[in-house]
Amino acid sequence: MSELVIETKGLSKRYGDVIAVDALDLAVRRGEVFGLLGPNGSGKTTTILMLLGLTEPTAGSVQVLGLDPARQPLSVKARVGYMPDEVGFYEELTARENLVYIAKLNGLPRDEAYRRIDEVLARMGLSEVGDRRVATFSRGMRRRLGVAEVLLKQPQLIIMDEPTQGLDPEGARELLHIIRELKGEDITILLSSHLLYQVQAVCDRVGLFHRGRMVLEGTVSDLAQQVLGSTYRIQLQADGPASTLMKALQHLPGVVNIERDGDNRYQVAAANDLRAEVANAIVTAGGRLLMLNVEAPSLDDIYARYFQEVEHVAAA
């Protein structure tokens, strides 16, 4: 069942002396949402362009849906939907006319094209404005039109470059909702972003890019384990003698670190979710538990920590 939709081996791209992508091994399974993370200029967009056959790799191999994008670009591009980071449309044409052009380039027969256009416009909530010129569209509407265009060719794989960039929170939320819906339809999605909480919300797996290399890969909790060491951070508030409580907590198996944040506030770092054990320990030690909360690791933490470490190593 783990059919690979994207597989790259030793994929590299060099622009003169600059190495944009360095020996990338990437594998994305069917039906998965994979997030490419990394700062600007870390090679995400170059990787995407190579997957689409829009840029020739300097070395290595790419397989997209079992095809080689450099040799069979038409078959690849007919099956893969691509939404660039800045979606542009022909401003003087209406939304519908823009889609008709794309449908024609895809060689769709006329009736089929019109049927699909109505369908995708309705799906993206653009039916009402389909005959308005794109020049009058807001950024959020343009993004949705971008998704409509991608859906027009009924792709098996969708690649989105920075899909939520420049959107207001409401627009971003809508777009993430759409991505989740598409995932439910067995469409594989590859997206790149540097907005971490959004990626975390929709991605099954992520890959962290740094200077053209994918330095970390896995689920968000995997990465947290690798980078932060402990996965769970438990915050609690309890009245009682601090030293007794600290001692009681330290004896719990799986606790990595305890910090006292304030008068009666503590932060426990643990390898797994120890909420019940912590509550029990506080109460048995004679403390009055006021508040208990677990904070799942966020990609932001992982990201920040990872790049901190990288800089430390570089400085040393």
Which residues, at least 6 apart from 80, have a Cβ–Cβ distance to it below 8 Å?
Answer: 51, 52, 64, 65, 155, 156, 157, 158, 159
Please identify, using beta-carbon distances, which residue of 156 and 237 lies nearer to another protein: 156
CB of 97 to another protein, least distance (A): 9
Please identify, using beta-carbon distances, which residue of 187 and 278 lies nearer to another protein: 187
Please identify, using beta-carbon distances, which residue of 107 and 241 lies nearer to another protein: 107
CB of 122 to another protein, least distance (A): 21
Please identify, using beta-carbon distances, which residue of 76 and 121 lies nearer to another protein: 76
Handedness of CA 123, 124, 125, 128 (dihedral sign): negative
CB of 270 to another protein, least distance (A): 44
Please identify, using beta-carbon distances, which residue of 212 and 297 lies nearer to another protein: 212
CB of 101 to another protein, least distance (A): 5
Asked whether 89 and 145 are in contact (CB, 8 A), the reply is: yes
Asked whether 3 and 26 are in contact (CB, 8 A), the reply is: no
CB of 46 to another protein, least distance (A): 7
CB of 188 to another protein, least distance (A): 16
CB of 299 to another protein, least distance (A): 26
CB of 204 to another protein, least distance (A): 24
Integer Cα distance of 149 and 194 in angstroms:
24
Integer Cα distance of 178 and 169 in angstroms:
14
Integer Cα distance of 53 and 64 in angstroms:
10
Burial class (CB in 10 A: 0-12, 13-18, 19+), 162: buried
Please identify, using beta-carbon distances, which residue of 16 and 253 lies nearer to another protein: 16
Burial class (CB in 10 A: 0-12, 13-18, 19+), 107: exposed
10 Å Cβ neighbour count for 116?
19
Contacting residues toward another protein, per CB under 8 A: 15, 45-46, 49, 52, 54-55, 71-75, 77-78, 80-84, 86-92, 101-102, 104-107, 146, 149, 153
CA angle at 108 for the pair 143 and 186, rounded to the nearest 5°: 55
Integer Cα distance of 133 and 152 in angstroms:
19
Please identify, using beta-carbon distances, which residue of 163 and 297 lies nearer to another protein: 163
**What DSSP element (H or E) covers 201?**
helix 196-202
Q: Where are the beta strands (DSSP E) in the chain?
A: 4-15, 18-29, 33-37, 59-64, 80-83, 157-161, 188-193, 205-210, 213-218, 232-239, 255-260, 265-270, 288-295
Please identify, using beta-carbon distances, which residue of 105 and 310 lies nearer to another protein: 105
